[in-house]
Amino acid sequence: MKDTNRICDILHIKYPIVQAAMNWITDANMVAAVSNAGGMGVLGPNAGAKFEGHQRISTEERYRNEFRNIKAQT
């Protein structure tokens, strides 16, 4: 019997688990943990934001920092 299915082959993951993007809850640490466990981690729309509202760092820079953190952990 085959260990993986088509979705695992397409996404290059070990298990057919896709972690949902959950607004402020999902950050680089959670995405890296899911990815390291064999699933597919997904960043939330406010990843890296510490609070709601105007912040000094731009959305683009916040995402760049999160992507760098994920890359360092995986």
Confidence of residue 59 (pLDDT cuts 50, 70, 90): confident
Tokens of 8: 């695992």
Q: What is the pLDDT at residue 34?
A: 97
Adjacent-strand bridge partners of 18: 40
Please say whether the beta carbons of 43 and 64 come within 8 A: no
**In the chain, which ranges are E strands?**
none
Enter the pTM of the model: 0.81
Q: What is the pLDDT at residue 3?
A: 67
Q: Where along the chain do its domains lie?
A: 6-73
Cα–Cα separations (whole angstroms), residue 29 to 4, 24, 47, 53, 71 = 26, 12, 10, 22, 10
DSSP output for 12-30: T-SSS-B----TTT--HHH
The answer to whether residue 1 scores a pLDDT higher than 60 is: no
